[in-house]
Chain A
Amino acid sequence: MLRLDNVRLDLPTKENLINGVSLSIERGKLTVITGPNGGGKTSLAKLIAGLFVPTSGKIFLDDEDITDISITDRAKRGIAYAFQQPVSFKGITVRTLMETAAGADMPEMKMCRILEKVGLCARDYMDREMDSGLSGGEMKRIEIATVLARDADYIVFDEPEAGIDLWSFTSLIDAFGKLKEDRDSALLIISHQERILDIADEIIVIRDGVVASSGTRDEIFPTLLSGKDKAYCPKGQEMF
Chain B
Amino acid sequence: MNKITEEILKEITDWDKVFDGAYSLRQDGECVSFQNSDHIRIVKKEDKSGIDIYISKEAVGETVYIPACVTKSAVKDLVYNDFHVQSGADVTIVAGCGVHTDSEEGSAHNGIHRFFLESDSRVMYKEKHIGIGKGSGQRVIDPETYAELGDRAVLEMETIQLRGVDRTLRKTKAILDKEAKLIIHESIMTDGSETASTEFSVDLNGEDSSVDLVSRSVAKGRSSQEYKSVINGNVRCTGHSECDAILADDGKVTASPALFASSVDANLIHEAAIGKIAGEQIIKLMTLGLTEEEAEEKIIAGFLGV
Q: Judge whether B302 and A89 touch: CB under 8 Å.
A: yes
B299 surroundings in chain A (CB, below 8 A): 89, 92
Q: Which of B119-127, B261-269, B287-295 contacts A (4 or more CB under 8 A)?
A: B287-295
**Please, which residue of chain A has its CB at the minimum distance from the CB of B303?**
A91
CB distance from A221 to the nearest CB of B (A): 30
C-alpha gap A50/B292 in the complex (Å): 13
Q: Which of B110-118, B131-139, B276-284 contacts A (4 or more CB under 8 A)?
A: B276-284
Q: Judge whether A150 and B288 touch: CB under 8 Å.
A: yes
Q: Judge whether B289 and A96 touch: CB under 8 Å.
A: no
Q: Which of A19-27, A34-42, A70-78 contacts B (4 or more CB under 8 A)?
A: A70-78
Q: Judge whether A90 and B302 touch: CB under 8 Å.
A: yes
B57 surroundings in chain A (CB, below 8 A): none
Q: Judge whether B287 and A100 touch: CB under 8 Å.
A: no
Residues of B within 8 A of A (CB-CB), count: 21
- Is A176 positioned at the interface, with any CB of B under 8 Å from its CB? no
Measured CB to CB, the residues of B under 8 A from A are 216, 244, 278, 280-281, 283-292, 298-299, 302-305
- Is A87 positioned at the interface, with any CB of B under 8 Å from its CB? yes
Q: With A91-B304, A92-B299, A92-B302 given, is the CB distance from A100 to B216 under 8 Å?
A: no
Q: Which of A76, A91, A101, A103 has the most CB of B within 10 A?
A: A91
Q: Within the complex, which residue of B281, B286, B292, B305 is in contact with A89, where a contact is CB–CB below 8 Å?
A: B281
Q: Within the complex, which residue of A83, A87, A92, A146 is in contact with B298, where a contact is CB–CB below 8 Å?
A: A92
B287 surroundings in chain A (CB, below 8 A): 49-51, 71, 75, 80-81, 83
B304 surroundings in chain A (CB, below 8 A): 91
- Is A93 positioned at the interface, with any CB of B under 8 Å from its CB? yes
Q: Judge whether B280 and A100 touch: CB under 8 Å.
A: no
C-alpha gap A87/B283 in the complex (Å): 9
List 22 A–B pairs whose Cβ atoms lie within 8 Å, in order of A's numbering.
Answer: A50-B287, A51-B283, A51-B287, A71-B283, A75-B287, A76-B289, A80-B287, A83-B287, A87-B283, A89-B299, A89-B303, A90-B216, A90-B244, A91-B304, A91-B305, A93-B302, A97-B288, A100-B289, A100-B298, A101-B288, A103-B289, A150-B289
C-alpha gap A97/B285 in the complex (Å): 8
CB distance from A212 to the nearest CB of B (A): 28
> Main secondary structure on chain A at its contact with chain B?
mixed
Q: Judge whether B284 and A87 touch: CB under 8 Å.
A: yes
C-alpha gap A89/B284 in the complex (Å): 10
B285 surroundings in chain A (CB, below 8 A): 100
10 further contact pairs, Cβ within 8 A, besides A71-B286, A89-B299, A92-B302: A75-B288, A83-B287, A92-B298, A92-B299, A96-B298, A97-B288, A100-B285, A100-B288, A100-B290, A150-B288
C-alpha gap A204/B283 in the complex (Å): 27
A91 surroundings in chain B (CB, below 8 A): 216, 302-305
Q: Within the complex, which residue of B244, B278, B289 is in contact with A72, where a contact is CB–CB below 8 Å?
A: B289
C-alpha gap A51/B287 in the complex (Å): 9
C-alpha gap A93/B298 in the complex (Å): 11
**Please, which residue of chain A has its CB at the minimum distance from the CB of B279?**
A87
Q: Judge whether A75 and B302 touch: CB under 8 Å.
A: no
CB distance from A136 to the nearest CB of B (A): 15
**Please, which residue of chain B has its CB at the minimum distance from the CB of A85?**
B280
C-alpha gap A50/B289 in the complex (Å): 12
A92 surroundings in chain B (CB, below 8 A): 298-299, 302-303
C-alpha gap A76/B285 in the complex (Å): 12
A83 surroundings in chain B (CB, below 8 A): 284, 287
Q: Judge whether A90 and B303 touch: CB under 8 Å.
A: yes
A70 surroundings in chain B (CB, below 8 A): 286
Q: Within the complex, which residue of B286, B291, B292, B302 is in contact with A96, where a contact is CB–CB below 8 Å?
A: B302
CB distance from A139 to the nearest CB of B (A): 12
C-alpha gap A146/B244 in the complex (Å): 26
